[in-house]
Each structure stands twice: as C-alpha cells, then as structure tokens.
C-alpha cells in the first residue's frame, strides 16, 4: 500500500512547484497508460525512458556548468537540490560529502499526480522507475554513479536515492 504523505503544506512556492511537477507527471502517466491501452506499452516505455534520460542529461550538463567544482558531490547536491526542491520533495540528507550524497525523499509530487489519476500501485511503481531515468541521466552527465533503493511507489516509507563518485 502506497503512503505518499505530505507534511509541508501551505508554502506558496512549494505548492506551485508541486503543481508543475504533478502536471508533468500527468502527461507522462497518461501517455504511458494510453499507449498500454493500445497494446503498445513496451514501445511507449522505450520512447519515454529515452526522452526522460536525455532530459536528465541536459539538466545534468546545466548543473555541472553551474558547479564551481563539478567533481565535488556536495557542490552538485547544493546546486541541484535547492531549498525549494528540498521542501517540495521533503528531502532529508543522510550523507553529504565531496564523494557521496545519500537522500531520503519523504514525498513525491509525481507519485501524487499518478495516484490522483487513479493509477494502480503497479502502474505507479513502473512510472516511478521510468521517471528515475531523469536522475540517472543527471548522474551520467555529472560523471557520478546513481543508486535507487527503496521507493514510496513500492510501498516503502521513503525514496532512497544516492549520487556518488565512481571508484573505477
């Protein structure tokens, strides 16, 4: 059972940002489910993943260009995760060093949009993983590794996300 709680309420900027993110999630979710209804789920997933991944790489390149030290994961985190983003997703920093950032997201506005559309838990979990291709693309553009652990869409209490330097 998915429990996508909200504790930060009534912040006008956060509310606007959550609305915009939810609108984007609505487009993606409806695109995928309409394709699935037409028997084209695999094709749609492939195209959506490619587009979201490329979007992440574009965003990652912009973040990298804004970082004073793009090899420093702390600099990346502070550039990518602005105070408004932190409040929007109710992010808790578990680790923040020059080599690694471990985050727990306590709310997901994308997931809320999919839930509001009435999508079942399995569809929400699929769309969540597809959406995470954006973060995977950001990590790739930065030259970092990315790990997705638990997710709210899988019924966990938080989404566990890590960006870290490649040890190779």
Domain annotation covers residue 133? yes
Domain annotation covers residue 108? yes
Domain annotation covers residue 91? yes
User: How many CA atoms lie less than 13 Å away from 85 in the CB half-sphere?
Assistant: 9
Domain annotation covers residue 3? no
pLDDT of residue 168: 59
- What pTM was estimated for this model as a whole? 0.94
Domain annotation covers residue 4? no
Phi/psi of residue 160, nearest 5 degrees: -105, 120
Domain extent, residue 57, equals 12-165
Per-residue model confidence as pLDDT tens digits over 96-141: 999 999 999 999 999 999 999 999 999 999 999 999 999 999 999 9
pLDDT of residue 2: 87
pLDDT band for position 72 (cuts 50, 70, 90) = very high
Domain annotation covers residue 32? yes
Whole-angstrom distance between the N-terminal and C-terminal Cα of the chain? 39
CATH code for the domain in which residue 55 is found: 3.30.1380
């Amino acid at each position: 059972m998915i429990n996508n709680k909200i504790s930060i309420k009534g912040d006008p900027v956060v509310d606007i940002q959550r609305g915009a993110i939810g609108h984007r999630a609505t487009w993606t979710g409806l695109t995928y489910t309409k394709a699935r209804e037409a028997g084209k789920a695999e094709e749609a997933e492939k195209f959506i993943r490619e587009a979201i991944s490329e979007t992440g790489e574009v965003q990652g390149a912009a973040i990298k260009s804004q970082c004073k030290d793009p090899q420093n994961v702390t600099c990346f985190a502070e550039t990518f995760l602005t105070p408004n983003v932190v409040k929007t997703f109710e992010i808790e920093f578990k680790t923040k060093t020059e080599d690694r950032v471990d985050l727990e997201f306590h709310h997901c506005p994308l997931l809320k949009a999919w839930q509001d559309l009435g999508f079942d838990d399995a569809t929400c979990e699929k769309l969540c993983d597809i959406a995470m291709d954006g973060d995977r693309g950001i990590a790739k553009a930065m030259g970092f590794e990315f790990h997705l652990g638990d997710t709210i869409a899988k019924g966990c209490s938080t989404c566990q996300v890590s960006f870290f330097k490649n040890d190779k």
